[in-house]
Amino acid sequence: MTEPILLSRRDILLSVVLLMMLVMLAGGMGVYVLADPSLKQANTMAIAAEIISTYYAEPFDWQEMIDAGRREMLSTLDRYSGYIEPNRFTQMHEDFTGAYGGIGVSVVPHDDGLLVMSVRESGPAARVGLLSGDVIIRADSVRLSTLTADESSDLLRGPEGTLVEITFVRPTDADTVTVEVTRERIDLLHIPFAGFTRDSAIYIRLLDFQAGASEDMKEALDSLLAQKADPVGVILDFRGNPGGLFSEAYHTASLFLESGRLIVGTDARSRWEEEQHHSSGSDITNGLPLAILVDNGTASSAEIVSGALQQLGRATLVGDTTFGKGLVQGFTQFGDGSGLRLTISRYYLEGGKFLNEFDSTLHDTGHGLVPDIEVQFIDREDFPRALEQSLLLQEFAHRHEEQIVSHPQQFALDQVWLERFRDFTREHGFVYESERTDRIDLLLEIAQLEESRPAVVRSAERLRDISAAEDNQAFEQYRTYIASRLKQIAFERRFGAYRMYRDVVVNERPDIRLAARVLTGATP
């Protein structure tokens, strides 16, 4: 058994002298440090670290120990608080300033690397021929399939003017292409489309609330209001908007309010973090009816704007219950470039409406905003989700792009096109089974294993056949959705996001058409 190593009298004396000097130098603050229980614990941890560093018998990785301590300490807080690595802090600064150094693509994880979902028009990636649907498999000879999505994305980002070698696969023809791309400053695109619906409603799609979002919203409104003297109202599309900067939220809400209305307030442990933000100026739309499209991906700053305008009776929310993030984070950076993201307050709306309970650690997901008019979003249903995850919509649209974009009004996925698409999915091994069919399969398996009576097994088999037949009708049931998605993909690939929204989305998406009717007072 190892004997404990005791500190020498000299070490103890030096520690006492050092502590006394700190108290004398800090004055009253020193007394506070000694009195505060949490800081006493921190002081104990620091002494323990010094003892380990001086006396521990075996070699150890000091940085690994510190990193583990940081992670464990912060893991007891809510999910939005955490330790930030130096490279992530740099990326956050880029996002907050409204731009980053990169190649101009939006990507999502893929088994082989990163799937390109969209390419910035006239950006670096577009100029070397990258297209939506391509799969980036290597960056500077590093195979992305061996990395996390964040690590892979980091390789695409970098200082303006630097080169990155990209290798990608085009699924439509299985070609592998390697190109050099020069990174550029990419301004974050907050608004991919701002225009009019067929019903003369202003429609603005806002993707986030990062730096510059409120100014872009103001410019879009100014431009559209100047184009049409009597629009029927304004539709703001916040579906899937994850939020962003707190300040961008109340500046955006203020555009639609007369002066002096409470937009949002914060309630915090620290009195310094308690504040209220009221509207200033005047309603830029002069009181036009306002509808906001929301879903369960609408969060944080997007909920502040939606909730504030709903609570003040200024907007009608159309869609699904929002995410429910009523917490505000602050950021602190350390000398080594790392830092902390820490929940510092809860926000509330007019009438004292909080989205989160008092104990945010236990209730870090709040109630969410309930829409005034509920919408069942088709893209959240099982069959469309399975189809999207297969990526076969993208591949089929790429193969038939010319035919789709040449006659968009006539392309309604008639029976010939529907059968062609169904055959295409079968060739690629796509088989849709609903959750109901899966459960019946399980019941059938249990009945067979337990050697149930033949009549019971036959009944289960009949149910399974009926359910499978209904699953097979999903292509017919979702014909309109499939046709619209194929047009969206083809138009974005050929003409970019703006034309996709103008020529397809605003005229065909059911929730946008519903919101336009709401603006005119028509019964949904």
Q: Return d(Cα 313, Cα 302) in angstroms, integer.
A: 17
Q: What is the pLDDT of residue 21?
A: 52
Q: What is the pLDDT of residue 1?
A: 41
Hey, what amino acid is at 306? S
Q: Return d(Cα 487, Cα 416) in angstroms, integer.
A: 16
Question: Do residues 79 and 364 lie in contact, with contact meaning Cβ atoms separated by under 8 Å?
Answer: yes
Task: Find tokens 């974009």 and name the residue.
Answer: 405
Q: Which two tokens stand for residue 425?
A: 């999915």
Query: Please, which residues bridge with residue 135 across strands?
Result: 115, 169
User: Mean pLDDT per segment of 10 residues, for the chain of length 524 residues?
Assistant: 45 49 50 56 77 84 77 78 76 68 82 80 80 87 85 88 93 80 86 94 93 95 93 95 90 97 89 86 96 91 97 97 88 82 90 81 76 92 85 89 82 84 93 84 77 74 83 91 92 88 93 95 70
Question: Do residues 339 and 331 lie in contact, with contact meaning Cβ atoms separated by under 8 Å?
Answer: yes
Hey, what amino acid is at 483? A
CA 362 remoteness from chain centre? 22
Q: What is the pLDDT of residue 154?
A: 85
- If one counts every other C-beta atom within 10 angstroms of the C-beta of residue 74, the result is 15
Q: Return d(Cα 240, Cα 269) in angstroms, integer.
A: 30
Q: Return d(Cα 239, Cα 292) in angstroms, integer.
A: 9
Burial class of residue 139, CB neighbours in 10 A (0-12, 13-18, 19+): buried
Q: What is the pLDDT of residue 7?
A: 46
Q: 438: helix, coil or strand?
A: helix
Question: Which residues, other chains included, contact 521 with Cβ-Cβ below 8 Å and sequence gap of 6+?
Answer: none
Q: Which two tokens stand for residue 349?
A: 């709306």
Taking each helix axis from N to C end, the angle separating 479-495 and 392-399, rounded to the nearest 10 degrees, works out to 60
Query: Please, which residues bridge with residue 175 across strands?
Result: 170
Burial class of residue 46, CB neighbours in 10 A (0-12, 13-18, 19+): exposed
Q: Which two tokens stand for residue 260?
A: 């002096």
3-class SS letters over 236-305: EECCCCCCECHHHHHHHHHCCCCCCCEEEEEECCCHHHCEEEECCCCCCCCCCCEEEEECCCCCCHHHHH
Q: Return d(Cα 3, Cα 379) in angstroms, integer.
A: 66
Among 378, 380, 382, which residue's Cα sits nearest to residue 483? 378
Q: What is the pLDDT of residue 156?
A: 93
**Positions of E strands within 250-391:** 262-267, 275-278, 290-294, 316-319, 327-333, 339-349, 353-354, 373-374
DSSP code at position 79: T
Q: What is the pLDDT of residue 37?
A: 63
Q: Which two tokens stand for residue 404?
A: 């789709």
